[in-house]
Structure 1
Amino acid sequence: MFIKKSEDHNDQDLKKGFDFKELMNMDLENVKTKFSKKLSKMNKISTPEKKRKVVAFDMGSSTIKIVVGTYYKNDLSIDKYITIKTPKDAIIDGEIKKSDELAMKLGEVLKKNGIKTKDATCTTNSTLIINREILIPKVEEEEMDTVVRYEIQQYLPINLEDYILQVTILGEEIVDETTKLNVRVIAYPEKIARGYYNLLLKLDLKPYALDVNYNAVNKFMNFTGINSEFEYKSKDSVAFIDMGASFIDVNIYKDGQLDFTRIIKDGGNDIDEILLRRSGVKASEIEDFKIRNINLKGELDPLNIQVKDIVDDWIEKIEKIIQFYKNRNIENQIDKIIIFGGSSKLNGMESYMAEKLGIKTKINGITKIAFKSNDDGKPIDDFINVIGSVIRI
């Protein structure tokens, strides 16, 4: 999904007619065409599949992951893997705050690594992105947008003119002898999308697609066959927990599809702040310090106790999310948990979470044997989001 300001000032009318999923998979020229035409109704267009190499960015508040890869006819190939520190306060809650500084940093990285690929994708997450399931009357497809906008407005006190909507039909339900559609609505803030679009233009890149992390993980999971990799049954519910610096993303997938998602406004920065104050370690050495000195299953020295208290708070919030998910439907269960991201690497985290939650927990151990890769095949925990964003479906 990328957007471009229409010169005929008809943005609001056009935006209502866009399908989010279509935009996420659409070539830039088609996006431009859609935004430049005054159409009361937007018809879906299909473009022939073409082999396209992209540079993809996973834009986090603490680190940015970059890969260069190609997805063509169900064949995925990744050429480069790069991790850099995000300039301080350049990205806050998924929104770009320091575009020029960020563009300068990324430009240097692209040049240093000899990346000349022009098509670019971004994936991110934000508490400002709204994800809801709602019931609406069963209507024809051309009426869907109007009905969804009316219904979602009853749930959320927001101005929908500031959002782009994706609507996915999950199924049908009978309510009071009337057939209803159960739909998932994702509302993506237009200002965040424009921020990434403009950033890529500053880098002289061609904005190709904008993804959401939980959607990227979904594509990665289905492509790599992660269910069979960890001996999951096809109907199992799997919770992917991305333990980032500012947020912990809890995404639950059932039968290969996103079923539930929540964001916890905590993360590795909470631990870093304590260690910086109490240990005297430098910020540049904090990651190595945590690996050497922190062990959730180790001795109860003062630092370990403080870190464990933070992790216990995270796990308590995760447990509440899981319980809420279970309470929504008597059939909802969590069969496995996969953790990834910076804080998942704390010594003892895997077994500690499994013990606290009573659910089998694994640190993602998928290697690059699942697809073509130009490096040594080490685990790809930190690159799940960005690799998933390369996959277009």
Structure 2
Amino acid sequence: MKNIFIKKNQNQSSPNSKKKVNFKEVMNMDVKTLKAKFSKNFRKLNKINTPEKKRKVVAVDMGSSMIKIVEGMYYKENLTIDKYITMKTPKDAIVDGEIKKSQELFDKLHEVIKSNGIKAKYATCTNNSTLIINREISIPKVDEDEMDTVVRYEIQQYLPINLEDYILQVMILSEEEINESKKLNIRVIAYPEKIARGYYDLLIKLNLKPYALDVNYNAINKFINCIDKNNEYEYNSEDSVAFIDMGASFIDVNIYKNGNLDFTRMIKAGGNDIDEILIERNNIEINKVESFKAKNIDLEEVFEPINIYVREVVDDWIDKIEKIIQFYKNRNMGDEVKNIIIFGGSSKLKGIEEYMTNKLGINTIRKKSISKNAFNSNSDDRPIDDFINVIGSVIRL
């Protein structure tokens, strides 16, 4: 498993000065995560990936509303998680995956890390953003030394972006022959350098050693393959299964088949939509919204006015999810999504599993816990569905 952070020059006088990414080198890396690359520490990072080395990491899932932190280690296919921590994200500190208020975020993270006795020195981050581009394209089969040029040319035909502002990774998905011409089907991820640099600088300021920058759908993919693979009672991993992260600002729809990411989309909607209704219509104080939702919202109870308002919001979410699933089906020649696994804050709405199952006609399960046999954990049997992304980011393959 390889991961990319920003390649940084330790002699730079300003954190805002930029060093161009070596796209030739990047093109030949595995796309499953984004490889941590920065000059002085690069040899040390390579040592981390060797089986002989055991390193604890602190992993951070950077959400717009909540930040989840775990401390743990992945070594010789064994995963151990020692600590689970949640903290509220300072208001507007992270917007669409990008750090906007670095000092406020640093102050809060520094306090939480210190008060919880986290000792790990190596750090990973995972997040998602509408600014991260994920595309499958077809290119002519070329020699390795021509790959970067061809990919850059082709991606510019699909996306009118300045590639100097992005870190690119490419993975070959398949090879086919069309009219006696060989083609490569590839997946391209374009990760905004500005966002990656923000996380790198934050970790350095926290006196942590940046190890990896992940994207949530990759973290979930690792979670499925390393932890969730034995949960056949929930779903068959050979089928198309949608893992839906129902967050505060975004709903991430990630479809996996045969243990691999097959399709991903983000919906600009989430728990904040319900919070706004409760604050406006019921005059609920903002710091009491979560407890109010847990006690008073039931999607199966149709006669309470507040449930009617909430159902209207959830219906809009479901309509958008249904369109994504239908698009996936059409794109994949009728391939059906057989199961939906939901997790994240908004998946805790009472009755949402049954409600989505009835609306979509697809078995929907809320991921509440993980088998004790899946990995070593000092979680005291607490539900850890909020930590799926960040647990996955600890795993390095």
TM-score range, shorter chain: over 0.9
In structure 2, list runs of 5 or more residues that go unmatched. Answer: none
Residues in 2 aligned to 1:232 and 1:267: alpha-carbon distance in whole angstroms: 25
| 1:233 counterpart letter in structure 2 | N
Residues in 2 aligned to 1:382 and 1:130: alpha-carbon distance in whole angstroms: 25
Q: Deviations over 1:57-89 (max 9, x none)?
A: 000000000000000110100000000000000
Residues in 2 aligned to 1:302 and 1:376: alpha-carbon distance in whole angstroms: 38
2:168 pairs with 1:165: yes
Are 2:68 and 2:387, in contact at CA under 8 Å, matched by a contact in 1? yes
1:102 aligns to what? Answer: 105
254-263 or 366-375, larger mean C-alpha shift = 366-375
Cα–Cα, structure 1 residues 45 and 114, in superposed 2: closer, same or farther, change >3 Å? closer
Residues in 2 aligned to 1:236 and 1:314: alpha-carbon distance in whole angstroms: 23
Cα–Cα, structure 1 residues 276 and 322, in superposed 2: closer, same or farther, change >3 Å? same
Q: Deviations over 1:162-188 (max 9, x none)?
A: 111111111123333322111110100
Task: Find the partner of 1:24 among 23, 34, 45.
Answer: 34
Same amino acid, percent of matched pairs: 66
In structure 1, list runs of 5 or more residues that go unmatched. Answer: 35-43
TM-score (norm 1): 0.92
2:60 aligns to what? Answer: 57
C-alpha deviation, 1:24, in angstroms: 3.5
Are 2:8 and 2:37, in contact at CA under 8 Å, matched by a contact in 1? no
Q: Deviations over 1:195-233 (max 9, x none)?
A: 000001111111111000000000001001346343533
2:120 pairs with 1:145: no
Cα–Cα, structure 1 residues 57 and 15, in superposed 2: closer, same or farther, change >3 Å? same
Residues in 2 aligned to 1:308 and 1:347: alpha-carbon distance in whole angstroms: 11
1:282 aligns to what? Answer: 285
1:202 aligns to what? Answer: 205
2:221 aligns to what? Answer: 218
1:48 aligns to what? Answer: 50
Task: Tell me the C-alpha RMSD between the 2 structures.
Answer: 2.2
C-alpha deviation, 1:248, in angstroms: 0.2
279-288 or 88-97, larger mean C-alpha shift = 279-288
| 1:48 counterpart letter in structure 2 | T
Residues in 2 aligned to 1:97 and 1:13: alpha-carbon distance in whole angstroms: 23
1:336 aligns to what? Answer: 339
C-alpha deviation, 1:47, in angstroms: 5.5
2:123 pairs with 1:113: no
| 2:130 counterpart letter in structure 1 | T
Cα–Cα, structure 1 residues 368 and 80, in superposed 2: closer, same or farther, change >3 Å? farther
Are 1:368 and 1:380, in contact at CA under 8 Å, matched by a contact in 2? no
Correspondence 1:70-85 to 2 at 5 A: 70-85=73-88
Cα–Cα, structure 1 residues 360 and 227, in superposed 2: closer, same or farther, change >3 Å? farther
Aligned residues: 384
1:240 aligns to what? Answer: 243
Secondary structure at 1:71 match in 2: strand
C-alpha deviation, 1:302, in angstroms: 1.9
Are 1:77 and 1:373, in contact at CA under 8 Å, matched by a contact in 2? yes
Secondary structure at 2:64 match in 1: coil
Are 1:28 and 1:207, in contact at CA under 8 Å, matched by a contact in 2? no
19-28 or 334-343, larger mean C-alpha shift = 19-28
Task: Find the partner of 2:381 among 362, 377, 393.
Answer: 377
Are 1:53 and 1:69, in contact at CA under 8 Å, matched by a contact in 2? yes
Secondary structure at 1:335 match in 2: strand
Residues in 1 aligned to 2:282 and 2:74: alpha-carbon distance in whole angstroms: 45
Cα–Cα, structure 1 residues 280 and 13, in superposed 2: closer, same or farther, change >3 Å? closer
TM-score (norm 2): 0.91
Are 1:28 and 1:206, in contact at CA under 8 Å, matched by a contact in 2? no
Residues in 1 aligned to 2:36 and 2:5: alpha-carbon distance in whole angstroms: 9
Are 2:5 and 2:35, in contact at CA under 8 Å, matched by a contact in 1? no
C-alpha deviation, 1:301, in angstroms: 2.1
326-335 or 237-246, larger mean C-alpha shift = 326-335
1:321 aligns to what? Answer: 324
1:302 aligns to what? Answer: 305
Task: Find the partner of 1:91 among 66, 71, 94.
Answer: 94
Secondary structure at 1:109 match in 2: helix
Cα–Cα, structure 1 residues 366 and 211, in superposed 2: closer, same or farther, change >3 Å? same
